[in-house]
Amino acid sequence: MAEDGVSVILPVFNDRPALERAIPESVAALAAITDAFEVIVAEDGSTDGSAEFVRAWHEKDPRVRLLHADERLGRGRALNRAIEAARYEVVCYYDVDLATDLAHLPELVGAIRSGADIATGSRLMPDSDIVRSGGREVASRGYNFLVRTILGSRLHDHQCGFKAFRRETILALVPEVQAPHWFWDTEVLVRGQRKGYVVREFPVVWRQGPGTTVRFKDVFSMGSQILGLWWQIHVAKN
């Protein structure tokens, strides 16, 4: 059984500048919530010195851990691996650019501690406060509409990179999650709802980061994966 505490995962691929802000701010935010925590940097085959930077942090603060991959796993596989390596009962992850305000971290962790299996920030609820380009806004709303329509989700926003899980629950789900990259978030939320997990969604303050790596082909791929997941759920298992 996992220890009582909080594990935060930062998925990283060539994000050295973002780490310089994300690590100290994460440590400070976690220290205000709990005495038992760790920051796992899931570093996915970076070539920009990210791994060396995290190793240096670990030397002065062992609560900061490096989980290095020699070759690119993809964001989804890197998250699966990091969740399995997490030590504590509450497992969170958020994007290293800190697009979601860390002021929401107590609410994220508190949702799991108060009984939710999965908690997720939402950029698309009425009280959400977001700033991003118009094109991305339209694409996001269209994508999430398709997820609700085709996959039967009850949530507003599936791709916000600000989520938490009860470790025991997510470990049972991870073997079923096949998405290697950006679709991981959606697949976890859809499969979790289908299993009857308690999912808490709440509005967040979110600002588009300057170094986003989501490209048009990623959006197109995720649209294709919506149909692929529908097939897995409704046809392939029958």
Nearest CA to 118 out of 48, 188, 18, 31 is that of: 188
CA distances from 176 to 54, 78, 103, 149, 230 (A): 30, 15, 32, 22, 14
Q: What is the pLDDT of residue 3?
A: 83
Q: What is the pLDDT of residue 222?
A: 74
Q: What is the pLDDT of residue 212?
A: 52
Q: What is the pLDDT of residue 223?
A: 79
30: enclosing H helix or E strand: helix 16-31
Question: Is 101 an active-site residue?
Answer: no
Compute, in degrees rounded to 10, the torsion defined by CA atoms 52, 53, 58, 59. Answer: 80
Q: What is the mean pLDDT of residues 111-125?
A: 97
Q: What is the pLDDT of residue 110?
A: 98
**Residue 175 pLDDT > 60:** yes
Q: What is the pLDDT of residue 140?
A: 86
Compute, in degrees rounded to 10, the torsion defined by CA atoms 54, 57, 63, 65. Answer: 20
Q: Which of 15, 48, 185, 218 is catalytic?
A: 185
Q: What is the pLDDT of residue 214?
A: 52
Instruction: Please write the tens of the pLDDT for every residue from 201-233.
Output: 999 999 987 655 455 555 667 778 899 999 999
Structural domain of 163: 3-236
Q: What is the pLDDT of residue 97?
A: 96
Q: What is the pLDDT of residue 82?
A: 97
How much of the chain exceeds pLDDT 70, in percent?
94
How confident is the prediction for the chain on average, in pLDDT? Answer: 92
Pick from 43-47, 120-124, 134-138, 151-155: least confident: 134-138
Domain count, the chain: 1
Q: What is the pLDDT of residue 210?
A: 66
User: pTM for the complete prediction?
Assistant: 0.93
CATH of the domain at 222: 3.90.550.10
